[in-house]
């Protein structure tokens, strides 16, 4: 009986360690070519709050370590302002910008309570 309980305890511990190590407890990512563990490592290894994650299907993905989406929105505005885009409005999770008659829509989404994912069309800095 003790061997069975010990074996079950070890299995539960190993499964728990696997789930924690691979960050399987986090919500799914809308980005296909990057893992949750890699996202967490990139933001923790960086000394800036907004880190580029991936360029996928003509979209650049960033992660912002911030609980307040308005702070993330301000960081996005500053980044795009440096590239000549003018902020027009915010509707829902979309931020609308304009430059030389061209429109750009940036979308944000809370990934966890601490991280905001940002999707920007890859041609924003051309």
Residue 6 lies in a domain: no
Which CATH number goes with the domain that contains 115?
Answer: 3.30.310
Q: Residue 65 belongs to what domain range?
A: 31-125
Residue 110 lies in a domain: yes
Residue 17 lies in a domain: no
Residue 83 lies in a domain: yes
- How many structural domains compose the chain? 1
Model pTM score: 0.80
Residue 20 lies in a domain: no
Q: What is the pLDDT of residues 59-116, one digit of tens each?
A: 999 999 888 788 889 999 999 999 899 999 999 999 999 999 999 999 999 988 889 9
Q: What is the pLDDT of residues 31-68, one digit of tens each?
A: 888 888 888 889 888 888 899 998 888 899 999 988 87
Q: What is the DSSP string of the chain?
A: -HHHHHHHHHHHHHHHHHHHHTTTTSPPPS-TTS-HHHHHHHHHH-SSSEEEEEEETTEEEEEEE-S-HHHHHHHHHHHHHHTT-EEEEEETTEEEEEETTEEEEEEEEE-SSSEEEEEEEGGGG-
- pLDDT higher than threshold 80 for residue 20: no
């Amino acid at each position: 009986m003790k061997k069975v309980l010990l074996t079950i305890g070890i299995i539960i511990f190993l499964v728990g360690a696997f789930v924690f190590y691979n960050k399987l407890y986090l919500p799914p990512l809308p980005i296909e070519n990057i893992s949750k563990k890699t996202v967490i490592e990139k933001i923790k290894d960086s000394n800036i709050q907004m880190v580029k994650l991936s360029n996928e299907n003509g979209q650049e993905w960033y992660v912002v370590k911030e609980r307040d989406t308005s702070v993330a929105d301000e960081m996005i505005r500053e980044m795009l302002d440096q590239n000549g885009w003018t902020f027009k409005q915010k509707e829902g999770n979309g931020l609308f910008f304009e430059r030389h008659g061209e429109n750009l829509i940036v979308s944000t989404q809370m990934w966890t309570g601490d991280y905001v994912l940002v999707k920007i069309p890859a041609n924003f800095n051309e």
